[in-house]
Chain A
Amino acid sequence: MQMKLERKTAPEFKAVGQIELIRPEQIDLDNGCKIFCFNSGDQDLVRIEWIFGNLRFDPAKPLLNVAVNTMLTEGTSKLSAAQIADKIDFYGAFLQVDYGYDHSQVVLYTLTRHLAATLPVLKDIITDSVFPEKELATFIRNQQQKLQVSLQKNDVVARRKFNKAVYGNTIYGLGADMDDYKTLHREDMLEHFKQMYQPSNCTILVSGKIEQSTLDLLKESFGKEWSNYSIKADTSQLDLKPATDHFYFVEKPDALQSAIRMGLPSINRTHPDFPALQVMNTVLGGYFGSRLMANIREDKGYTYGIGSGSSSLSKGGAFFIATEVGADVCKKAVNEIEKEINILKTVLIPESELSLVRNYMLGSLLGSLENIFSHADKFKNIYFFGLDYDYYDRYTEVVKSLSAVEIMQMAKKYLDTDNFYKVIVGKY
């Protein structure tokens, strides 16, 4: 006879053990370009990322970094935009350009057997882009149209206001407006391209099935045949200048929902407190069971979603809380957010909640290592901050051992609500 099934009690579980990260093999090319290889032969495919540090922000020409990156697919001296697209698509490959706050990148996803056919196109793009006038005009016009649509979205407007407030007039604070596009000129873009997209400012990450021929191809195309420009890339950035005004309200009389974004300048990953800040953030608004979700969505039903997070950038960072709530409950939602922060600062977190958060975070770290690409992503998170793999050892150690008292200290230290920037778009 079968024992009666005990459905009320959770099955036994095990804590997540040691988390193994795959470390890359490094190849230094003579021209200063570095290649990092993450090899795993399960599937016949490879992802190659060419990562470049953004050049120093020029407030008079604010769009150069993003425009040069976005337009890399729009023509070289040998290939037109159409020819680039044809070649990449024909081989079933995917070509992406991604602009980020600190770095911009070019990414190729391809079946390993088609690498020899697709790599020459990438070489052309990265070493010989020419930004044709006609394509630039199309780019500007289409971007301006898209911007008009984005500016109708309350969450987008809130994010732009917030970034401008906490980062000031820097590369991080930039929210392009229509007129900024008038400052884009082809000559400036060409010069920017030469300074930024050169070997000494380039890091290549290869992940997937890497064969000797893959590396030979890469070394040939991006080693000997690729030289540095006469001017070194200046990737230093302006210091962040948070605004003096702390409250921003953009009224939208017809809004059904209001976007709320609040927070303040904070630390980045290089700071010893960063892992502890992330634990505190998880408790507050970093997962589905977080206090903000539990209260503002699951108890009050004010929103479809609310979360908090910290952005880690090379010149600093920010801590923020973001949500969209019913326009009629906006003030109430802000009060509840402030209430939750206050509880975090004054009441010790119960042990059962803390152990749940620990396990959740470790499971989430383990789960984020889905495939070889994820291992490369973990490397990026430390490498560009000058950190080593012991960062992850420290991170897991902190997640496992941080005490309730220390979480309260983190909240007191990093959630200084008197210094919060608060942005509301909609009704208030």
Chain B
Amino acid sequence: MVKFNRFTLDNGLRVIVHEDHTTPMAVLNILYDVGARDEDPDKTGFAHLFEHLMFGGSVNIPVYDEPLQRVGGENNAFTTNDITNYYITLPSANIETAFWLESDRMLSLAFSKKSLEVQRNVVIEEFKQRYLNQPYGDVWLKLRPLVYKKHPYQWATIGKEIKHIEDAQMEDVKAFFAKHYNPQNAIMVIGGNVTTEHARKLAEKWFGPIPAGEKYQRNLPQEPEQNEERRLTVAGKVPLNDVYIAFHMPGRLDEGYYEADLISDILSRGNSSRLYKTLVKDKQLFSEIHAYNMGSFDRGMFVVEGKPLENVSIETAEAAIWEELEIIKNELVPPDELTKVKNKTESTMVFSEMSLLDKAMNLAQFELFGDADKLNHETDKYLAVTAEQIQKQAKEIFRKENSSTLIYLAA
């Protein structure tokens, strides 16, 4: 149970305070309701590049990191296809420094030319390091456009290509800031050794004067239902073949999401999972195999991915995966197995409460979903899922005409 208090400033900034006086630390987490899905198809990778620029100095504070490190704090941020999240942890006695820094960059950035030039290079190196200079690193650049034909999930957060990063101009940066980085599009969570009263005072002092800005109205092209089997075979400088089968699945807030998430656990979580036991251990067809869902807010992606052993043909490997998917479509999950994945979900929730930062990030995300308190009912949602519902969802998802298969061949 994660307790919290909540209030909204006049400018629309939503604030959540989670008091935890067992730690001498505090966290300030700000979620901006903008991700790679909000990008222009010709300027992809921008939300993430922008995240880098948020560290390049703000209107009144020339450098961001230094004053924070000086008070014993650390920070970082990440961008996904759905959101951009910034966080600071620091000794709670110095929490005001976090308010000062975060409010100034919500007020306005410095828009330094040097910062844009350098961060373009840094992000291009990140593009190479993570996506191009790694075995199988470019798989998401190829799989996403196969799975999504309309929705902006068709590109990865890093962007479609390096050129989009190279082309980013200062006016794009300014327009993006004005559109997305204002109090109405943000949720702030304060956690740790701080009282709600103190947090409210500081929030009003530092964030209160920031103009509300305009609320961004999201209107994205939705992905139509898939009605044909899709396939792509690529060859690359990799040592082993790799098989990816991706399916459309319900979005994070849609009916059927919890079922789909439990299906991925049944198939692939831990050494007792079906794919590992059957395909790695018993039939000895794969050296590794995984099933996971991306947790996307809009219509999501369920992926089964495995590396067949060297003597196993792609056809055999694919057929073996489908055989397992057919079983979960055609037979009810036995009660013990369902209890097992539910127990795992429950204990994962308890363990996640060991981390102050995790709690703060989760509260922000569930507030974005409509109510931070949903975090405290998440376990119940999983516990309520029945074997019949799982079977129904498996039948929905695991259809050939809902699949996109990417074969990555060792050239």
A217-225, A342-350, A363-371, A414-422: which lies at the interface:
A363-371
Residues of B within 8 A of A154 (CB): 133
Would you call A152 an interface residue if the criterion is a C-beta within 8 Å of the partner chain's C-beta atoms?
yes
Are B65's CB and A289's CB within 8 A? yes
Choose among A82, A149, A364, A369 the residue that contacts B277 (Cβ–Cβ < 8 A): A82
Would you call B287 an interface residue if the criterion is a C-beta within 8 Å of the partner chain's C-beta atoms?
yes
Would you call B243 an interface residue if the criterion is a C-beta within 8 Å of the partner chain's C-beta atoms?
no
Would you call A271 an interface residue if the criterion is a C-beta within 8 Å of the partner chain's C-beta atoms?
no
Asked if A5 meets B206 with Cβ closer than 8 Å, knowing A152-B238, A153-B135, the reply is yes
Choose among A14, A81, A256, A356 the residue that contacts B133 (Cβ–Cβ < 8 A): A256
How far is it, in angstroms, between the C-alpha of A8 and the C-alpha of B61 when the chains are bound?
6
A99-107, A161-169, A301-309, A386-394: which lies at the interface:
A301-309
Choose among B209, B269, B339 the residue that contacts A90 (Cβ–Cβ < 8 A): B339
Which partner residue on chain A sits nearest B100 by CB separation? A11
| CB proximity of A45 to chain B, nearest CB, Å | 6
Most buried by A among B22, B126, B206, B287: B287
Are A90's CB and B343's CB within 8 A? yes
Which partner residue on chain A sits nearest B340 by CB separation? A90
Are B280's CB and A142's CB within 8 A? yes
Residues of A within 8 A of B339 (CB): 90
Would you call A120 an interface residue if the criterion is a C-beta within 8 Å of the partner chain's C-beta atoms?
no
Asked if A149 meets B238 with Cβ closer than 8 Å, knowing A45-B347, A111-B350, A360-B69, the reply is yes
| CB proximity of B20 to chain A, nearest CB, Å | 10
How far is it, in angstroms, between the C-alpha of A303 and the C-alpha of B123 when the chains are bound?
9
> Which secondary structure dominates where chain B touches chain A?
helix
Are B354's CB and A371's CB within 8 A? yes
Would you call A226 an interface residue if the criterion is a C-beta within 8 Å of the partner chain's C-beta atoms?
no
In the complex, which residues 199-241 of chain B have their Cβ closer than 8 Å to any Cβ of chain A?
205-206, 209, 237-240
Would you call B5 an interface residue if the criterion is a C-beta within 8 Å of the partner chain's C-beta atoms?
no
Are B309's CB and A141's CB within 8 A? yes
| CB proximity of B127 to chain A, nearest CB, Å | 9
Q: Per-residue 0/1 for A1-33: is the Cβ within 8 Å of any B Cβ (1 yes, 0 no)?
A: 000010110111110100000000000000000
Choose among A13, A43, A299, A360 the residue that contacts B118 (Cβ–Cβ < 8 A): A299
Most buried by A among B71, B346, B350: B71
Are A303's CB and B97's CB within 8 A? no
Choose among A14, A257, A360 the residue that contacts B125 (Cβ–Cβ < 8 A): A257
How far is it, in angstroms, between the C-alpha of A138 and the C-alpha of B119 when the chains are bound?
45
Residues of B within 8 A of A179 (CB): none
Most buried by A among B24, B70, B310: B70
Are A111's CB and B347's CB within 8 A? yes
Would you call A191 an interface residue if the criterion is a C-beta within 8 Å of the partner chain's C-beta atoms?
no
Are B239's CB and A360's CB within 8 A? no
Asked if A45 meets B69 with Cβ closer than 8 Å, knowing A85-B272, A149-B239, the reply is no
Would you call B10 an interface residue if the criterion is a C-beta within 8 Å of the partner chain's C-beta atoms?
no
Would you call A254 an interface residue if the criterion is a C-beta within 8 Å of the partner chain's C-beta atoms?
yes
B87-95, B167-175, B313-321, B386-394: which lies at the interface:
B87-95
* A interface bracket (residues with beta carbon within 8 Å of B): 35 or more
Are A145's CB and B354's CB within 8 A? no
Residues of A within 8 A of B376 (CB): none
Asked if A81 meets B271 with Cβ closer than 8 Å, knowing A92-B346, A111-B347, the reply is yes
Are A141's CB and B287's CB within 8 A? yes
**Number of B interface residues in the complex (CB < 8 A):** 82
Residues of A within 8 A of B94 (CB): 11, 13-14
Residues of A within 8 A of B237 (CB): 152, 254
Q: Per-residue 0/1 for A215-243: is the Cβ within 8 Å of any B Cβ (1 yes, 0 no)?
A: 00000000000000000000000000000
Are B70's CB and A359's CB within 8 A? yes
Would you call A93 an interface residue if the criterion is a C-beta within 8 Å of the partner chain's C-beta atoms?
yes
Residues of B within 8 A of A36 (CB): none
Which partner residue on chain B sits nearest A155 by CB separation? B129
Are B350's CB and A364's CB within 8 A? no
Would you call A297 an interface residue if the criterion is a C-beta within 8 Å of the partner chain's C-beta atoms?
yes
How far is it, in angstroms, between the C-alpha of A296 and the C-alpha of B43 when the chains are bound?
27
Which partner residue on chain A sits nearest B89 by CB separation? A367
How far is it, in angstroms, between the C-alpha of A141 and the C-alpha of B277 when the chains are bound?
16
Asked if A302 meets B343 with Cβ closer than 8 Å, knowing A255-B133, A364-B72, A370-B356, the reply is no
Are B125's CB and A366's CB within 8 A? no
Residues of B within 8 A of A68 (CB): none
Residues of A within 8 A of B22 (CB): 42
Are A13's CB and B70's CB within 8 A? yes
Residues of A within 8 A of B161 (CB): none
| CB proximity of A69 to chain B, nearest CB, Å | 15
Asked if A367 meets B90 with Cβ closer than 8 Å, knowing A43-B350, A145-B307, the reply is yes
How far is it, in angstroms, between the C-alpha of A42 and the C-alpha of B270 when the chains are bound?
27
Asked if A289 meets B66 with Cβ closer than 8 Å, knowing A92-B347, A138-B284, the reply is yes
Which partner residue on chain B sits nearest A252 by CB separation? B133
Q: What are the 6 closest A-B residue pairs judged by CB atoms, nearest first?
A: A363-B72, A301-B121, A92-B343, A92-B347, A85-B271, A85-B272
Other than the known A12-B96, A301-B122, A364-B74, what 11 A-B pairs have Cβ atoms closer than 8 Å?
A11-B99, A13-B93, A81-B281, A90-B336, A92-B344, A145-B288, A298-B122, A300-B121, A355-B70, A363-B74, A369-B24
